[in-house]
């Protein structure tokens, strides 16, 4: 029966009993009042038992109360049982989650909005030296490295990472990433990259050593071949049928020398920290690059135009910048057919300074663009070799630009030409020391001057 109906029948029964007794005793009203009072006391007693059960041992079976209160106790106990089951399940999941985080070889630290430590795994203790008492303390007070403070202060919240030396062991290098989650919270992930770095160092040293060892014998070989090829055709010491072979040998030796030089330059760019930086006079440097490229362009009857639209200095290494700009200019000449048009340009705007080499050569298909700066990546291997390319030019450009906080953005259209813009940040540039003098600066090198 429905507990409400049961309760109503019970009340009705009490009232009827009281009425009967009242009629028998001759005082109906008093009997009804006494009946109701008894009913209320009984309800109060059941309520008291329910309260006692709820406040002391709700985990036990509810008391036998019957009626509405019994139903109420049963429903409460059912909900409590369900809730306990849910909690147990959640605790199990959470336990497994914490166990897996604890087992991770990488350090994981959860930080609140003010970068105070909320939780960390065992690896964080091992790699960052965090201890239990460090909870609720700011992470930068414990890992005192300015690179971490810089990383936390970075505006680009979607991509914050840095390299740190472990505060526990200075032989360990950590790669740290900060990932936002929840409400202004952050997850700090630190990975031990010492082994990777060591392997990278071994690779770099190996390439540098091999290149260095090859340089001397190649120079000697090149010198001898040059001497032999320089002998007059009438010289009886060289048989005429050997001459083409000797010429090819010299060309191949020069190619290997160029390769060794580029490899050495790349490993220097990778391993040496940037040298002391100077104020590089950009108009002069770019004009020199254009003049050198102009000589090659003249041989191919190409028109090479130089546009210096702003006269700035740039904080950096003139040797490295010269090498990067010369590589881009040489590529433009190399991959543009005879009679083509090349523009070398420097200009400045609110975003910074921009060096650009544009050509109307054969262009590059879009699927190659993102791989061009990889070592030895060539669109057309045979043609690159035939033009004397080493396959390392754009890799050198990328490294030089990285060392100058600049970026290379290649754009190209197959059959129509390519543009290689290098974008330098404004903080590296000095105020122009003269107003732009476009007419005077627009000079032409090579044949067919513009
Ligand atoms: P390489 O010594 O072969 O020129 P780079 O690293 O300088 O090596 O260039 C990589 C490849 O990019 C080249 O082999 C060539 O296919 C392509 N490339 C570079 N510059 C240009 C350009 N201006 N026009 C067309 N293709 C180019």
Per residue in 44-100, pLDDT (tens digit) is: 998 998 888 888 877 788 888 878 888 888 888 899 889 999 999 999 999 998 888
**What is the Cα–Cα distance from 44 to 69, expressed in whole angstroms?**
11
**What is the Cα–Cα distance from 109 to 102, expressed in whole angstroms?**
11
Task: Output the pLDDT for position 64.
Answer: 84
Last residue of a domain, one of 271, 299, 334: 271
Residue bearing tokens 């340089």: 215
Asked if 349 and 370 sit in the same domain, the reply is yes
Asked if 314 and 391 sit in the same domain, the reply is yes
Ligand 1 atom 3 nearest Cα:
391
Contact call for residues 306 and 442 (beta carbons, < 8 A): yes
Asked if 441 and 313 sit in the same domain, the reply is yes
Last residue of a domain, one of 53, 68, 98: 98
Task: Output the pLDDT for position 423.
Answer: 96
Calculate how far, in angstroms, residue 337's C-alpha sits from the geometric centre of ligand 1. Answer: 14
**3-state SS, residue 293:** helix
Asked if 67 and 205 sit in the same domain, the reply is no
pLDDT in tens, 378-423: 888 777 777 778 899 999 999 999 999 999 999 999 999 999 999 9
**What is the Cα–Cα distance from 257 to 242, expressed in whole angstroms?**
23
Ligand 1 atom 23 nearest Cα:
332
Task: Output the pLDDT for position 437.
Answer: 45
Q: Which residues of the chain have pLDDT under 50?
A: 434-450
**What is the Cα–Cα distance from 435 to 426, expressed in whole angstroms?**
17
N residues, the chain: 450
Of 128, 118, 171, residue with least CA distance to 148: 128
Domain that holds residue 156: 104-192
Phi and psi at 377, nearest 5°, equal -85, 125
Asked if 8 and 87 sit in the same domain, the reply is yes
**3-state SS, residue 435:** coil
Q: Which atom in ligand 1 lies closest to the alpha carbon of residue 417?
A: 24
CATH value at residue 138: 3.30.450.20
Task: Output the pLDDT for position 445.
Answer: 43
Asked if 421 and 284 sit in the same domain, the reply is yes
**What is the Cα–Cα distance from 440 to 309, expressed in whole angstroms?**
10
Ligand 1 atom 18 nearest Cα:
331
Last residue of a domain, one of 74, 98, 122: 98
Task: Output the pLDDT for position 176.
Answer: 95
Contact call for residues 279 and 428 (beta carbons, < 8 A): no
Calculate how far, in angstroms, residue 218's C-alpha sits from the geometric centre of ligand 1. Answer: 25
Task: Output the pLDDT for position 184.
Answer: 86
Task: Output the pLDDT for position 432.
Answer: 62
Calculate how far, in angstroms, residue 150's C-alpha sits from the geometric centre of ligand 1. Answer: 37
Asked if 12 and 78 sit in the same domain, the reply is yes
- Residue 146 token pair: 């300015």
Contact call for residues 410 and 369 (beta carbons, < 8 A): yes
Alpha helices, DSSP H, located in 175-193? none
Task: Output the pLDDT for position 448.
Answer: 37
């Amino acid at each position: 029966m429905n507990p409400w109906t049961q309760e109503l029948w019970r009340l009705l029964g009490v009232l009827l009993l009281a009425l009967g007794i009242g009629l028998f005793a001759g005082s109906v009203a008093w009997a009804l009042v006494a009946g109701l009072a008894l009913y209320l006391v009984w309800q109060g007693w059941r309520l008291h038992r329910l309260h006692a059960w709820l406040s002391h041992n709700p985990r036990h079976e509810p008391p036998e109360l019957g009626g509405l209160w019994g139903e109420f106790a049963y429903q409460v106990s059912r909900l409590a049982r369900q809730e306990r089951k849910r909690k147990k399940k959640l605790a199990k999941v959470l336990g497994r989650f914490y166990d897996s985080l604890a087992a991770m070889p990488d350090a994981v630290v959860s930080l609140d909005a003010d970068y105070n430590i909320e939780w960390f795994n065992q690896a964080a203790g091992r790699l960052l030296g965090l201890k239990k008492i460090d909870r609720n303390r700011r992470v930068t007070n414990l890992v005192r490295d300015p690179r971490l403070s810089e990383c936390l202060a970075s505006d680009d919240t979607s991509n914050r990472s840095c390299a740190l030396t472990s505060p526990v062991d200075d032989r360990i290098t950590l790669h740290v990433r900060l990932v936002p989650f929840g409400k202004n919270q952050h997850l700090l992930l630190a990975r031990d990259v010492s082994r990777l770095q060591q392997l990278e160092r071994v690779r770099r040293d190996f390439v540098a050593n091999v290149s260095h060892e090859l340089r001397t014998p190649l120079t000697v070989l090149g010198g001898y071949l040059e001497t032999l090829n320089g002998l007059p055709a009438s010289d009886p010491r060289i048989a005429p049928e050997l001459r083409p072979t000797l010429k090819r040998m010299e060309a191949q030796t020069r190619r290997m020398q160029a390769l060794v030089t580029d490899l050495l330059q790349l490993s220097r760019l990778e391993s040496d920290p940037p040298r002391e930086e100077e104020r590089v006079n950009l108009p002069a440097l770019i004009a020199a690059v254009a003049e050198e490229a102009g000589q090659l362009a003249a041989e191919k009857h190409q028109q090479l135009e130089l546009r210096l639209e702003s006269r700035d200095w740039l904080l950096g290494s003139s040797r490295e910048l010269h090498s990067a700009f010369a590589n881009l200019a040489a590529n433009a000449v190399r991959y543009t057919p005879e009679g083509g048009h090349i523009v070398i340009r420097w200009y400045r705007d609110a975003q910074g300074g921009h060096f650009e080499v544009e050509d109307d050569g054969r262009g590059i298909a879009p699927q190659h663009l993102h791989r061009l700066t990889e070592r030895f990546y060539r669109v057309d291997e045979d043609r690159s070799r035939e033009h004397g390319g080493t396959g390392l030019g754009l890799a050198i450009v990328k490294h030089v630009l990285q060392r100058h906080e600049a970026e290379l953005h290649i754009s190209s259209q197959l059959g129509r030409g390519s543009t290689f813009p290098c974008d330098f940040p404004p903080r590296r540039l000095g105020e122009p020391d003269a107003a732009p003098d476009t007419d005077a600066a627009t000079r032409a090198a090579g044949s067919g001057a513009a």
